[in-house]
Chains A and B, each alone.
Chain A
Amino acid sequence: MTQMKIQPNKFNQGSEPEKEAPDPRQDSALSAEHVTIRYGNTVAVDDVGLAFAANQITAIIGPSGCGKSTFLRAFNRMNDFIPSASLEGAIRFQGIDIYDPAVDPVEVRLRIGMVFQKPNPFPKTIYKNVAWGPQINGFKGDLDELVENSLRSAAIWDEVKDRLHKSALGLSGGQQQRLCIARTLAMQSEVILMDEPCSALDPLSTGRVEDLMLELKQNHTFVIVTHNMQQASRASDYTAFMEAGKLVEFDHTEKMFQNPSNQRTEDYVSGRFG
């Protein structure tokens, strides 16, 4: 296995701590360069270039079928499992092209975690759900502690501490999704991709997931695909708007929602279409 030479917080070194949100082009954890993704002959993502700022939350919005989920999955190589999918261009994680043949996709997914649209806990106990990822990847420390910390970070510890060894399938949808987040946090991945994580949740659970992201962004970089415009404006620092596979506009969330440069963006965020 080729080791990716990853230095933690590489991008925060050398530059002074800033109060203002960093410019993603200079301080990116993850970036896409001229990325085109095809399913067979159908172009799903068309020449998109974009950089996600470290320790920030970037939202990707756009109408259904605009390629935003496909684009997101490209960042931890989940599209590898779709036989017809192909990718052109480069995706760089801390300077390394994750589609370089020398890079092991398993390691990419270790470093770049993902939370899915539908809560998908394993049909095992709550404890095993969180412990499994670290276990198979050679975790040597105190597993109980890691599980507890992860569940605490995902704000679900109090609800499950008395039933850690009961099946995860007995939890409610919102709890299951927070368990899935805890499972991802246990991997201590630098980047966490979220594919419409709240689309199956009620407003209360949605709020908790958003609060979580805001708390956890000190240690993680979040990219969230969402259909929910309020969610993007509430919870993200940057917003990218995609339409028909193309990146229309990408900017600070405030600007995107209050004073977008592009007319299509304005129409979309103000609810005129989509």
Chain B
Amino acid sequence: MSWLDTANLNLRKRRRRALYFKSICSLFTWSCFVLLAVLLVHVGHKGVGLIDVDFLRNAPSWRPEDCGIWPAIAGSLWMMGLTALISIPCGVSAALYLEEFAPKNRWAHLIDVNISNLAGVPSIVYGILGATVFVRFLALEQSVLAGSLTMSLLVLPVIIIASREAIRAVPSTIRHAALALGATPWQTVVHHVLPTALAGILTGVILALSRAIGETAPLITIGAVAYISDAPAGPMDSFTVLPLQIYSWTTKAQSEFQDLAAGGIVALLVFLVIMNGIAVWIRHRAEGNAN
């Protein structure tokens, strides 16, 4: 006779507890979902009707009915492009160096900790840094370039961390296989480590850039302004971005401007969905290639 025969198994109570726990989890999940849905429906209800060709093509105006968001969309695209150009090479190189080449000593550890900390620094701090260094010291004024450099600072830690994770996930057996065939560490990285890590790196990069596209605070700090009547034509032009435009409309008293803000939010959401869609697509492709 084993202890099992006399033990109080309490199966009913245990099953009930499991059920409670499951219910609480699903309750929280659904309440998040409902909140988001309410927000989307509310904004969509007000905003979707506003979006037409004129809204996408026009510049902001004092008259709500003439208002459009073209300069903000163009500004966002400019800033995203420049930020990507600056931050991806820097971030991926840094991640590669730290993971593959840097000696694993106390300095490496110190840099590690600092990058993680930088990822948590409030964006306004980067804004102040950008205003001091890029806008004033380098005299870039309120240009797209100054904004992109500031945004690059903001997203770099995120890109570095995500890329490092992806690089670390590449099995070391692949590195050893390449090295044992007489590859230099550099060839090993370029031909095998980077392509294998690409899906993860790109996902991290796009998520980081999605964050950049929604940021407002650092751009307010460097003095990007909401009333811009022309799309920027070059990196030294002044600019505005979608979230700034939305913010400036919400601060206005007339309710028509509130509706315009809703339209802007819908545009921004569409933008984000497209970006995340691209991220999923790239990931799919890269994973498909690997197999």
Within 8 A of B (CB), among A117-173: 118, 120-123, 132-133, 136-137, 167, 169
Question: Chain A's nearest CB lies how many Å from the CB of B119?
Answer: 27
- B192: Cβ under 8 A from any A Cβ: yes
| Complex contact B173–A107 (CB within 8 A) | no
Instruction: Enumerate chain A residues within 8 angstroms of B174, measured Cβ to Cβ.
Output: 120, 122-123
Instruction: Enumerate chain B residues within 8 angstroms of A118, measured Cβ to Cβ.
Output: 173
Q: Total A-B residue pairs with C-beta atoms closer than 8 Å?
A: 63
Among the listed B182, B184, B191, which residue makes an inter-chain contact with A187, where contact means beta carbons less than 8 Å apart? Answer: B182
**Identity of the chain A residue whose Cβ is nearest the Cβ of B192 in the assembled complex:** A122
Within 8 A of B (CB), among A75-106: 76, 78, 81, 83, 106
| Complex contact B291–A109 (CB within 8 A) | no
Among the listed A114, A123, A132, which residue makes an inter-chain contact with B291, where contact means beta carbons less than 8 Å apart? Answer: A123
Secondary structure dominating the interface of B: helix
- A268: Cβ under 8 A from any B Cβ: no
| Complex contact B173–A116 (CB within 8 A) | yes
The number of residues on chain A lying at the interface, defined by a beta carbon within 8 Å of a beta carbon of chain B, is: 26
**Identity of the chain B residue whose Cβ is nearest the Cβ of A128 in the assembled complex:** B191
The number of residues on chain B lying at the interface, defined by a beta carbon within 8 Å of a beta carbon of chain A, is: 21
Known contacts A83-B104, A106-B184, A136-B187; is A122 also within 8 Å of B179 by CB? no
- A221: Cβ under 8 A from any B Cβ: no
Instruction: Enumerate chain A residues within 8 angstroms of B104, measured Cβ to Cβ.
Output: 83
| Complex contact B103–A187 (CB within 8 A) | no
Known contacts A136-B191, A167-B291, A169-B291; is A116 also within 8 Å of B176 by CB? yes
| Complex contact B173–A109 (CB within 8 A) | no
Question: Chain B's nearest CB lies how many Å from the CB of A201?
Answer: 16
- A110: Cβ under 8 A from any B Cβ: yes
Among the listed A76, A110, A116, which residue makes an inter-chain contact with B177, where contact means beta carbons less than 8 Å apart? Answer: A116
Q: Given the complex of chains A and B, what is the CA–CA distance between A132 and B190 in angstroms?
A: 13
Instruction: Enumerate chain B residues within 8 angstroms of A136, measured Cβ to Cβ.
Output: 181-183, 187, 191
Q: Given the complex of chains A and B, what is the CA–CA distance between A165 and B173 in angstroms?
A: 22
- B32: Cβ under 8 A from any A Cβ: no
Instruction: Enumerate chain B residues within 8 angstroms of A123, measured Cβ to Cβ.
Output: 174, 196, 290-291
Known contacts A83-B103, A123-B291, A132-B191; is A110 also within 8 Å of B176 by CB? no
Question: Chain B's nearest CB lies how many Å from the CB of A151?
Answer: 16
| Complex contact B180–A78 (CB within 8 A) | yes
- A180: Cβ under 8 A from any B Cβ: yes
Instruction: Enumerate chain B residues within 8 angstroms of A113, measured Cβ to Cβ.
Output: 180-181
Instruction: Enumerate chain B residues within 8 angstroms of A78, measured Cβ to Cβ.
Output: 176, 179-180
| Complex contact A106–B176 (CB within 8 A) | no
Question: Chain B's nearest CB lies how many Å from the CB of A124?
Answer: 9
Among the listed B171, B176, B181, B290, which residue makes an inter-chain contact with A133, where contact means beta carbons less than 8 Å apart? Answer: B181
- A68: Cβ under 8 A from any B Cβ: no
| Complex contact B181–A183 (CB within 8 A) | yes
Within 8 A of A (CB), among B26-65: none
- B178: Cβ under 8 A from any A Cβ: yes
| Complex contact A110–B182 (CB within 8 A) | yes
| Complex contact A122–B182 (CB within 8 A) | no
Within 8 A of B (CB), among A46-99: 76, 78, 81, 83
1/0 contact trace for B263-289 toward A, CB 8 Å? 000000000000000000000000000
| Complex contact B176–A109 (CB within 8 A) | no
Q: Given the complex of chains A and B, what is the CA–CA distance between A122 and B184 in angstroms?
A: 16
Instruction: Enumerate chain B residues within 8 angstroms of A107, measured Cβ to Cβ.
Output: 182
Instruction: Enumerate chain B residues within 8 angstroms of A167, measured Cβ to Cβ.
Output: 291
| Complex contact A109–B181 (CB within 8 A) | yes
> Which B residues have a C-beta under 8 Å from some C-beta of A?
103-104, 171, 173-184, 187, 191-192, 196, 290-291
Known: A122-B174, A136-B183. 10 other contacts (CB 8 A): A76-B180, A78-B179, A81-B176, A83-B103, A109-B180, A123-B174, A132-B181, A180-B177, A183-B177, A183-B181
**5 residue pairs from A and B, CB less than 8 Å apart:** A81-B179, A122-B174, A122-B192, A123-B291, A180-B177
